[in-house]
Chain A
Amino acid sequence: MLLFRGRYTKLVGLILVATMMMSFVVGCGGGSESGSDKVETIKIGNILPLSGSAAPLGKIGQQARDMAVEEINAAGGIKSMGGAKIEMIYADSKGDPATGVSEAERLITHEQVALITGCYQSGVAMPSTEVAERYGVPYFVPVPSEDQITERGFKYVFRLAEKTSWRNRDQVKFIKEMSEKFGTPVKTVALIYENTSWGQGAVRAWEKYIPEAGLEIVLKEPYPSNSSDLTPVVLKCKNLNPDIIMLVSYVSDAALLTNTFAEHQVKPIAFIGTSGGFADPQYFELTGDNCEYYFDISTWEPDVNRPFSAETNKKFTEKYGYAMNAEAVKAYVAMYIIADALERAGSTDPEALRKAFAETKITEGPTQMYASEIVFDETGQMVNAPLVICQMRKVDGKMQRVTVWPEEEARPGFEVVWPYPGVGQ
């Protein structure tokens, strides 16, 4: 360090100050250059977590969008606007609400995007949609599922994803259907959930739908998702011997619970997961055969029986080296819905675009891989966002997610195994 004392210190100091001044001045003055918009590109802003703990999820969303945009542009772009091409501008939210807000400001007022889409986390979607609403710029939300996003009376916010509570609603519907189909009476339900926003939201929905279906909640057990031992939770559950065990977990805790349930031979009529950790590819590696016959709910599965699903997933896998997940499918389909709205609006005027989104009705094309009909209600919420339930099954010696419900979208040749036969049965 001594080397840098004396005259070097002065130099370093000068350089530092100069850099700071420069960066500040450049940062503030750069705005005047953005007026050179070309007519033949339409800028779409996309806020995603590209750094931080959710970065891998942000990346797959980005890749799915890039693939969709490539296809749309290659097919002639937006024809009603003279074949205009879509240009994506990605912004990193770091998964932080305040950064999401400032990036939304930047996309709207500096990049002057026609609309915004994104942004994976509900926590970022909540405040950043409010920015767009204030400027009257359409904001299309493909993934975040927090109920309140479309319950605030906003005019410019549209959502493709299901509401969180719908998943819980359909889980209960599935239980009722199965218990009638197989003649197994179901009375009691235990809820085991990680104790942050996700788990808390799920419990609120379950508390509404489970009693409505005539079932009784006998256990509500929150736990911290970074727990290293969940035996007490499992034993508590075993003592109460509930008919159904519902779970909300991230991946490490999902695996820990599954393995501990197996170890203690807990045997309800069904285990039902709520996506997240149960849908993570790592889950199979961590649990081995212990997860066999577990159910999980999601919006899309690789084997789901829908048009365009297999082809698109194959193309994605070849391009990026891994398969799509439900979030990637929503991101991909979202670009086609945006393109459709732009096509019908014929301009990037926010009001025309908002109207086009509100009037969306798509019943063919690549969006079929997500839902047979894309329509938004007056709050901007996608009506009937589809949900499927899969069962973890051993196919050719390897554990797979096999879509079993609803029946018309199920993998052909597979029957639901109900009730739960126990580990290794």
Chain B
Amino acid sequence: MDIVQKKKIGLIVIILAIALSIPLFVTKPYYIHVITMCLLWAYLASSWNLFCGFAGQLSLGHGIFTAVGAYVTIMLFNDFNISPWIGMFAGGAAAVLLSTLIGYPTFKLRGAYYALATVAIGSGVMVLIENTMTLGPFHVGGAEGLIVRLMGNAPAYLQFMSKVPYYYLALAMLVIVVVFSYWLKNSRLGFYLSALKEDEDAAAALGINVRNAKLVAAAYSAFFTAIGGVFYAMLIRYLEPMAIAGPMMSNEMVFLAVVGGSGTVFGPVVGGITLHAISEVIQFYFSDMAQGLHLFIYGLIVVFVIMFKPQGIIDILQKYYNRFLGISDRGEDESSVS
């Protein structure tokens, strides 16, 4: 094992050790909650990135997958007492089904047309949820939202009184999605995706089944996004269609992934954690000064990042990472991280 390999492994161990020990020295539940939300957003941005980042497709309607995952799981739990631990796979499966149904007609569309289609479908699904009070035996709650049935401290039902279990869950989910991203990027499918990202026609001419590659990647992305929705539901314990399926949810995922560095394994993670942390800190210090000031400052920071680093925040970190490993800046591409 050469020195670069050792350094890489060392870095991973250190980061994981820090992540695992955070609840030991951060004891206030509010901070744990904020860090958990950072991890959740990093997770959601990474899930979006699985398809949209790697294949260069701009989906602005990923909120429907968080919504479907969360709603299916919570309805199964509320009305049939099926634990969310099991229900989340049903939610994930429903999201995969939905993504395939949407994928068939829309993957023919390119660029702005595809993005517009996802916006339309996203709003459509939100309106459907808002106007559905009951669905067969299930209570959906319409626009008034769906309350998660409270069980107190019930680990078997994914409900905890303490914030710490949620933190570790979010961390585990993030690690899984990062490992999966890494695997996907370096798999045959990953190469197909990066080929069709550059030029769909050229990729098709090379014999890549473009539609199938997109469908499979979109299904992975939908599944992971849906699980994120389930986690949101169990943490917030209340589903409001506007909040879980609305444009805010959909756009935030895109935003974090793009600012962090879309199409890379770690970009969305870095984007999700840093941007969300910044927004929380700004809210913490400035929200009681002048109305809306905190959002303005947040916007400014984001504009600066996009102006100076259009490739994403990851691009800055990459340089220091390469220097740490002792390799030249141009020698390795981003996939070398981890």
A residues lining the B interface (CB < 8 Å): 1, 4, 9-10, 12-13, 16-17, 19-20, 23-24, 26-28, 30-31, 50-51, 55, 59, 89-92, 94, 96-98, 101-102, 105-106, 108-110, 122-123, 126-127, 130, 134, 146, 148, 152, 195-198, 200-201, 222
**Which single residue of chain B is at the shortest CB-CB distance from A58?**
B291
Bound CA–CA A10/B133 (angstroms): 55
Are B133 and A200 neighbours in the complex by a CB distance under 8 Å? Answer: yes
B interface residues, tally (CB under 8 Å): 54
Are B242 and A102 in contact, with the CB atoms below 8 A? no
Q: Is the CB of B30 within 8 A of A106?
A: yes
Cβ B277 vs Cβ A23 within 8 A? yes
Q: Roughly how many angstroms separate A97 CA and B30 CA in the complex, as a whole number?
A: 16
Q: Which residue of A lies closest to B305 (CB)?
A: A16
**Which of B147, B150, B163, B277 is in CB contact (< 8 Å) with A20?**
B277
Contact with A along B288-328 (1 / 0, CB 8 A): 10011011000001001101110001001101100000000
Do the beta carbons of B317 and A126 come within 8 Å of each other? no
A204 CB, nearest partner CB in chain B, Å:
8
Docked CA distance A219–B85 (Å): 44
Instruction: Across the A-B interface, give the 6 residue pairs with the lowest CB-CB distance, nearest first.
Output: A197-B143, A127-B238, A13-B316, A27-B281, A51-B292, A197-B144
Q: Which single residue of chain A is at the shortest CB-CB distance from B278?
A: A23
Do A92 and B294 have beta carbons less than 8 Å apart?
yes
On chain A, the residues within 8 Å of B35 by CB distance are 28
> Contact between B280 and A27 (Cβ–Cβ < 8 Å)?
yes
> Do residues A20 and B143 form an inter-chain contact, with CB atoms below 8 A?
no
Q: How far is the CA of A126 from the CA of B150 in the complex (A)?
A: 13
List the B residue with the shortest CB-CB distance to A1: B307
B-side binding surface: helix, strand, loop or mixed? helix
CB neighbours of A19 from chain B (8 A): 278, 301
Chain A residue nearest in CB terms to B34: A102
B317 — which chain A residues lie within 8 A by C-beta? 17
Interface residues of B in 17-60 (CB under 8 A from A): 26, 28-31, 33-35, 37
> In the complex, are the beta carbons of B28 and A31 less than 8 A apart?
yes
Q: A9-B308, A98-B37 are in contact. Are A20 and B274 (CB under 8 A)?
A: yes
Cα distance A23–B292 in the bound complex, in angstroms: 19
Centre residue among A90, A91, A109, A198 by max chain B CB count within 10 A: A109
Check A16–B313 contact: CB distance below 8 A.
yes
B287, A91: Cβ atoms under 8 Å? yes
Given contacts A17-B316, A55-B291, A106-B30, contact A24 B281 (CB under 8 A): yes
10 contacts between A and B (CB under 8 A): A28-B31, A92-B294, A96-B248, A98-B243, A108-B30, A122-B144, A123-B238, A195-B131, A195-B143, A200-B144
Contacting pair B277 A197 (CB below 8 A): no
Residue from B29, B284, B308 in contact with A27 in the complex, judged by beta carbons closer than 8 Å: B284
Contact with A along B256-289 (1 / 0, CB 8 A): 0000000000000000001001101111100110
Query: Which residue from A17, A28, A126, A152 sits with its C-beta under 8 Å from B26?
Result: A28
Contact B133 A110 (CB under 8 A): no
> With the chains together, A126 CA to B240 CA distance in Å?
10
A30 to B34, CA, bound (A): 13
Given A105-B33, A146-B144, A123 contacting B243 (CB threshold 8 A): yes
Interfacial residues of chain B within 201-249, with CB under 8 A of chain A in the complex: 232, 235-238, 240, 242-243, 248
* Residue of A51, A59, A122, A130 touching B150 (CB-CB under 8 A): A130
Interchain nearest-CB distance for B231 vs A (Å): 12
Q: Which residue of A lies closest to B287 (CB)?
A: A92
When the two chains form the complex, which single residue of A17, A98, A123, A152 contacts B232, counting CB atoms closer than 8 Å? A98
A17's nearest neighbour on chain B, judged by CB, is B316
Across the interface, do B144 and A27 meet the contact criterion of CB distance under 8 Å? Answer: no
User: Is B145's CB within 8 Å of the partner chain A?
Assistant: yes
Complex Cα–Cα for A222 and B290 (A): 38
Contacts of A201 in B (CB 8 A): 144
Set of chain A residues within 8 Å of B143, measured between Cβ atoms = 195-198, 200
Tell me which residues across on chain B come within 8 A of A110, comparing CB atoms. Answer: 28, 30-31
B320: which A residues are within 8 A, CB to CB?
17
Q: How far is the CB of B337 from chain A (nearest CB, A)?
A: 16
- Contact, CB under 8 Å: B30 / A105: yes
Option from A26, A30, A97, A105 in Cβ contact (under 8 Å) with B240: A97
Given A106-B284, A126-B238, residue A27 in contact with residue B291 (CB < 8 A): no
A110 to B261, CA, bound (A): 33
- Hey, which chain A residues are within 8 Å of B34, CB to CB? 27, 102
- A91 neighbours in B (Cβ, 8 Å): 287-288
Residue of B nearest to A135 (CB): B29
Contact assessment for A102 and B37 in the assembled complex, using a CB-CB cutoff below 8 Å: yes
Residues of A within 8 A of B301 (CB): 19
Is the beta-carbon distance between A16 and B316 smaller than 8 angstroms? yes
In contact, B161 and A134 (Cβ under 8 angstroms): yes
A134 to B163, CA, bound (A): 11
Asked if residues A13 and B309 are in contact (CB atoms below 8 Å), the reply is yes
Cβ–Cβ < 8 Å partners of B277 in chain A: 20, 23-24, 27
Q: How far is the CB of B321 from chain A (nearest CB, A)?
A: 12
Q: Determine if B130 is an interface residue (Cβ-Cβ < 8 Å).
A: yes
Tell me the minimal C-beta distance from B78 to chain A in angstroms. 13
Given A13-B309, A24-B274, A201-B144; 18 other pairs, CB 8 A cutoff: A16-B308, A16-B316, A19-B301, A24-B281, A27-B31, A28-B26, A55-B292, A97-B243, A98-B37, A98-B232, A101-B33, A105-B30, A105-B33, A123-B145, A127-B238, A148-B147, A195-B130, A200-B143
Residue B142 is within 8 A (CB to CB) of chain A in the complex: yes
Q: Report Cα–Cα, A176/B33, bound state, in Å.
A: 51
Q: Name the CB-closest residue of A to B310.
A: A1
Let me know if A130 and B237 touch, CB within 8 A.
yes
User: For residue B133, which residues in chain A have a CB less than 8 angstroms away from its CB?
Assistant: 200
Across-interface contacts of A222 in B (CB, < 8 A): 131
CA distance A254 to B105 in the complex (A): 39
Please give, as numbers and ranges, the residues of chain B lying within 8 Å of A31 by CB-CB distance: 28, 30-31
Choose from A9, A12, A97, A200 the contact partner of B238 (Cβ within 8 Å). Answer: A97
Partner of B281, one of A10, A23, A122: A23
Determine the distance from Cα of A326 to Cα of B287 in the docked complex, in whole angstroms. 26
**How far in angstroms is the closest Cβ of chain A from B288?**
5
Once the chains bind, are A123 and B240 in contact (CB under 8 Å)? yes
Instruction: Find chain A residues with CB under 8 A from B31 CB.
Output: 27-28, 31, 110
Shortest C-beta distance, B245 to chain A (Å), equals 13
Which residues of B sit under 8 angstroms from A16, Cβ to Cβ? Answer: 304-305, 308-309, 313, 316
